[in-house]
Each structure stands twice: as C-alpha cells, then as structure tokens.
A and B are shown apart, each in its own frame.
Chain A
Amino acid sequence: MEDVIRVENLTKKFEKLIAVDGITFQIKQGEVFGLLGPNGAGKTTVLHMLATLLKPTDGTAVVNGFDIKKHPNKVRESIGMVFQDPSSDDILTGYENLKLHALMYGVPRDVREKKISEVLELVDLADRKNDLVKKYSGGMRRRLEIARGLLHNPKILFLDEPTLGLDPQTREHMWEYIEKLVKEQNVTIIITTHYMEEADRLCDRIAIIDYGKVVVMDSPGKLKKALGGDIIKIAMKNPDAGKAKKLDFVKNSKVVDGSLVLTVADAGKNIQQILKVVGDVDSVEMRSPTLNDVFLHYTGREFREQTPEGGIMNRIMSLEARR
C-alpha cells in the first residue's frame, strides 16, 4: 500500500525553543497512527503543521500527494481535523455547525443534506441536531467535532487528543466510534494522545515523541515485546537497582519513585530468585508490560497523565500569536 503521509525532517522552532526536531515518518493508507508523548512533547505542533495551520521552520511533509508548503489548500481539502478543544460555535445548533462547514468545504448542494444526516447518524446525534451546541455535554460536543471532520469525506482524519477530559464511559464510546470509522470509511487516522491504553487499543503503529523527537516507532505489540519480558515492581525500603541487574534473566532494572522496577524474562519462574537477591520487600507486583513501561524504558521517565491545559505548548502558541 502507498504512503498517504510522508513526513521528512519536519522541524518547528519557536524563538529559541525547538518544539519539533527533525521528525521523519510515513503513514500508509488505512492505518491508524498514534503520536504519543507527554504534553509539550510537540504532538499538536506536528498535527498543526500537517494541517497547514503552522509553517514548518525546516523540512516538509506530503499529505495525500500534496506538499504542505506548496499546496496548503489541496492538503486542507484532503484532511478532516478534530481539535483538542471543541471548536464548534455554541450559539449555533449542531446542524447549523455542520452546514457551515459543509459550505466551507464546498460539499455540493445536492449531497449536503444527505451527508449531514449521515454523519449525525454515525455519531448518534441525529435526535439532538436542532439543539444549541451550548446545551450539549462534553462527549456530545466531541462527537459533533468528529462528525464535522468527516463531512467532506476526507481521506485522512487528524484527531488531536480526542478523549481528553472525557469520562471513562464516554471515552469507551469514542473508541468504538473511531473503530467503526476505520472499518466502514477506510480513512487513515493520525491520533495524538497521552493515554497509553487509548493508543494500545486503537493504533496500528505508534511513534513516541519526547522533546520534539521520535524516540521509538513500531506497533504497540512489538514495542511491548521488545522490552523482553514482564514487569515486576517491588516496593521496598532501600531499593538498589544494581543487585538485581546481575541476574541474567533481568533485562532491565531501575528505581522509579522509590520502587524497584524490573523487566524480567519468564517472571513467574524467576521471581523467587529475584526476591532472594534484593532483600526485604514490602510488596511485589507482577504484570505484562504496557505501553507505559515502553515509554518508561525509552525515556527513563514515568508517563504521567497531565491536566487538559497543554501547559508549555499553549504558552508558546500564545507567544507566537502575540508577535
């Protein structure tokens, strides 16, 4: 299959800060590609550059065959974008918001109404279409955004933190919608998230981004497998990473937040030996690796879920706008 998105050495500098630092990747038709990283890692900046909202400082990308620098309008026609913060007009109804965007995207008049009902149906908002958006719940707003992103049959859909700030139930629903989209509409999706379980569930491939660089890129399954075993977390008084490292089935040993975290091949069989070596323990936890462990492994930091306000990036964006 061909690449619908080719990103080459994409770079964005804000004053002195390098938000995106020479990123390169390709995405195939029909793939769900995840950009993972903590807030401020540069995920949204990458999306905004791909959507031609920001000009790259260096490098470029080809989206649906069009260069983002040379043919921004063609790129915008090819993509649907769902922003991190709801961007519908809340004084208008759901239907009116969709009509507005259908007009802006030049959806032909004869298919406009049909298309609007179709996307409303898809996100289960048909019965609320004539209510003002300010009366919608957070989840409904997010669904309206997705409906809007699909109005013009884009080949590529950008989802920027689609479930940020939603409750677990609504999040589950959103995931189902996204899965349905991929299956029924065969769109290519780029999703940014800092929820590891979201990426694990939805993405065919993920790129972990930290400090504006791609740290590692592969399918979630392979990334977890590459850690080489299960995770054992030992809470104890004086954790010492060195002792356990000497055992040859311990692939990795780190002290995180006062606990000893080990990556161990055949953990079930080898745990007794480990306990003998490390000394007095308070508690032991053993589990299969998650993407969180992958992140931890590659960046040496715990992947914390942060507040919806995207701290540093927001501040940079506003600085940028003020000039």
Chain B
Amino acid sequence: MSELGGFYAVWYREFKVFWREKSRIVSSIVSPLLWLTIFGGGLGSQTSLGSVGYQAFIFPGVLAMSITMTSIFFGTYIVWDKKIDFMKSVLVAPMSRTTMFLGKVVGGATDALIQSTILILLGVLFGITYTLQSILTAYLFLFLITVATVSIGLIIGSFMESPEGFGLISSFLVFPMVFLSGAFYPLDNLPQWLAVATTIDPLTYGVDGLRGAIIGTSHNSFLFNLTILSAFCIAAIAAGTVAFNRMKL
C-alpha cells in the first residue's frame, strides 16, 4: 500500500525541489538558446538543408541535447542525497527500491519535460510551426528520451560517491551521445565510420523522431524510431532497477 504513496512521495519531493530552485530552470534554457542563436545562426548563414533553414533543422537536435543533458545530470542529485544522508531516511522506509527508482525517474522526467516545454514555445522564434499532431508526437519522443536518460543518470549516480566523479563519468557519456546523434547534421551521406557510430547511438533515433515530428523530415520511419527508442528505454529502466536494488550506502 505504501508503494504508491512512496512513489508519489519521491516524485513530490523532486518536483518541489525543482520548483524551488528556479535557477535550475533558467540555466537549462540558456545553453540551448546559445546553441540555436549563435551556432545555428552562424552556420545557418552559410548552410541550408533542403526546405528548412539550418536553425530550424537543428532545433529538434538542440531540444534532444538539452533534455538529454538535464536528464542525465539529474542523477547527480542522488549523489547529494547520499551525502546529506537523506537517502538513508528513504531506504529505511518500508518501500521497495524499485518504487524509489521509478519515483525518481518520473520526477526527473517531469523536470526535464517542463524545461522542454519552454524550449518548444521558444521554437516559434526560430521559424517552427506546430500542429496538434506534431506537438503530441514530439512529446512522445521527448518522454522516451528523458525516461531513458534519467535512468542512465540515476544508474551512474547510484555507483558514485562524489558529485565530481559523477560529472566526470557523465560527460564522457553525454557528449558522444549528443554529437553522434545527428543533432547538428543530417544522417544522409555520412562517411562510413560516422554512419556506424550514429547507428549505434540510441539518441539518434530520438533526434530523428523529433525531427520527423517537428519539421517533417526524418531519416528513418516513425515506427522504426519509436521501436528502437522504446527498447532502449525499457532496457535503461530495467538496468536502473537492478542498480538501485544493489545500491549500497
């Protein structure tokens, strides 16, 4: 009975803290905007990709990048929880580690989706037009991306003792994931080695799915992207559950 309450409790706490720390929201919006305006604007003056401008082309990529970074970084809070002993007080409560993990995932996903919403709204400034269908599809992909990457962040956090260690490990993961995902370039006509690398990167399917939803062009089919990303998501949740059940104080 307390599992549901526990799930809500973990989520409630994450949400409250997120809402109270407004700086988290602001900082997570600034960097994608810089990418869009400066990087996108600079390169966009030379390049155009098919029917859309470069800024519009990378908009889904920047969206995916920002939600991935926020989500993985969310794992650092669990390292802090361990440090301030909050974690012990949660672990001594009569609820399962799995519930605790799922509450954290949904809490992190909520934070990340709120940030994405702000970016989606700002997308209008970069020439993006939305329909109800494109918005709903975009949220489906954003949801899958954030659940998968929050899980990864939490897995890393469950093994780490220090926030510094977390930062080191996570940046080794985040940057390859983002740069290989085709967030900033089209997936057609890539050199062989890069094509292989992008195929392996699960985020590729998130970026491509988002691009298909938001600007209507994609490399893979909607269903293919959805399938691969969902599989990745389930695998990440499963691994996270195991990691939490094995976590020591």
The docked-state distance in angstroms from the alpha carbon of A99 to that of B10 is 11
Interface check B6, CB cutoff 8 A: yes
Binds A, one of B29-37, B43-51, B91-99: B91-99
Q: Which residues of B contact A124 (CB under 8 A)?
A: none
Contact B95 A104 (CB under 8 A): yes
Min distance, Cβ A101 to any Cβ of chain B, angstroms = 7
CB-based contact A106/B1 at 8 Å: yes
Q: Pick the contact of B13 from A89, A148, A320 — CB < 8 Å? A: A89
Cβ-neighbour of A104 out of B16, B90, B249 (below 8 A): B90
CB distance from A65 to the nearest CB of B (A): 15
Q: Nearest residue in B to A81 (C-beta to C-beta)?
A: B92
Contact between A87 and B94, CB atoms less than 8 A apart: no
Q: Is the CB of B93 within 8 A of A101?
A: yes
Within the assembled complex, what's the spacing in Å between the Cα atoms of A161 and B223? 58
Q: Which residue of B lies closest to A93 (CB)?
A: B16
Tell me the complex Cα distance, A91–B16, Å: 9
CB < 8 Å: which of B9, B13, B92 contacts A76?
B92
Interface set, chain B 60-88, CB cutoff 8 A to A: 82, 84-88
Q: A83-B85, A323-B248 are in contact. Are A103 and B8 (CB under 8 A)?
A: yes
| Residue from the list B5, B6, B161, B249 in contact with A53, Cβ < 8 A | B249
- Residue A276 CB within 8 A of the other chain: no
Q: CA A323 – CA B158 in complex, angstroms?
A: 12
A92 touches B5 (CB 8 A): no
Q: Which residue of A lies closest to B12 (CB)?
A: A100
Q: How many residues of B contact A (CB 8 A)?
A: 30
A interface size (C-beta, 8 A): 33
Whether, in the assembled complex, A232 has its beta carbon less than 8 Å from a beta carbon of chain B, the answer is: no
**CA distance in complex: A77, B5 (Å):** 14
> Are B86 and A318 within 8 A (Cβ)?
no
Are B86 and A77 in contact, with the CB atoms below 8 A? no
The answer, yes or no, to whether B195 is at the interface (CB within 8 Å) is no
B129 in the interface (beta carbon within 8 A)? no
> Contacts A89-B13, A91-B20, A103-B8: A53 and B86 contacting too (C-beta < 8 A)?
no
B93 nearest CB neighbor, chain A only:
A104
Partner of B94, one of A53, A76, A91, A323: A76
Q: Which residues of A contact B17 (CB under 8 A)?
A: 89, 91-92
A101-B84 Cα distance, complex, nearest whole Å: 16
B89 at interface by CB-CB < 8 Å = yes
Residues of A within 8 A of B245 (CB): none
- The interface centre, meaning the residue of A81, A86, A101, A103 with most chain B CB atoms within 10 A of its CB, is A103
A73 sits at the interface (CB 8 A): yes
Q: Which residues of A contact B20 (CB under 8 A)?
A: 91-92
Q: Does B12 lie within 8 Å of A105, measured CB to CB?
A: no
By a CB distance below 8 angstroms, the chain A residues around B16 are 91-92, 96
CB-nearest residue of chain B to A77: B94
Interface centre among A81, A100, A317 (most CB of B within 10 A): A100
Check B21–A73 contact: CB distance below 8 A.
no
A85 at the interface (CB under 8 A from B): yes
Taking the complex as formed, is A52 at the interface, i.e. its CB lies under 8 A from any CB of chain B? yes
> B2 in the interface, Cβ–Cβ < 8 Å?
yes
Nearest 9 A/B pairs, CB to CB: A106-B2, A103-B9, A87-B85, A104-B93, A76-B94, A87-B89, A103-B5, A77-B94, A104-B6
